[in-house]
Amino acid sequence: MDEAYNHIPIIKLWHLLLVPLQGEMTDDVAGRLMSEVLERIYRDGSSGLVIDITGLWILDSHLCSVLSQISDAAALMGAETVICGMKPEIALTLETMGVHLDNITSSLDLEGALALLGVPKPDLKAWRKARGVKRPGVASPLPGIR
């Protein structure tokens, strides 16, 4: 299979790493995920890891094992792991199978995961006031977007 097709994005956000997983994860890709994420934690000195599984089609027992191993190793390296985006049917399947993701905190969404790792929610009122924006909704915190 094409190597570019199996690319695993690892995004650095301040002191955190964000790993959005999508599609189907083969055993080979899961193995690369483990080595690449742990290497990045070490190289970047990250204190937190967010694994977003919103885009995963399936979460099997092997991938659960890999995620648990990543979390355990990350904890030994001083990084806390939060998993987010778990669909209800996946959560029920894991519970039914008796699969436990030890050392992994969970959150419904990315915003909650970031909050658990100490990233504060932006204060848009203060942002607008600092920039002299009179009416809410007139300007966006992103340049060029209204």
pLDDT in 10s for each residue of the chain, 146 residues:
445 556 889 999 999 999 999 998 999 999 999 999 999 999 999 999 999 999 998 888 899 999 999 999 999 999 999 999 999 999 998 888 888 887 789 999 999 999 999 999 888 888 888 888 776 555 555 665 55
Measured in degrees and rounded to the nearest 5, phi and psi for residue 48 equal -150, 150
Residue 58 within any structural domain of the chain: yes
| Assigned token pair, 4 | 């570019």
Euclidean distance between CA atoms 94 and 4, whole angstroms: 30
Cβ partners under 8 Å of residue 54, min gap 6:
20, 84, 85, 87, 109, 110
Residue 70 within any structural domain of the chain: yes
Residue 143 within any structural domain of the chain: no
Residue 25 within any structural domain of the chain: yes
Residue 45 within any structural domain of the chain: yes
DSSP strand pairing (16-23 vs 11-13):
antiparallel
| Assigned token pair, 83 | 């998993």
| 8-state DSSP, 121 | P
Residue 18 within any structural domain of the chain: yes
Residue 139 within any structural domain of the chain: no
Range of the domain at 124: 4-130
Read off the CATH number of the domain in which 90 is found: 3.30.750.24
Read off the pTM.
Answer: 0.83
Residue 141 within any structural domain of the chain: no
- The total number of structural domains that make up the chain: 1
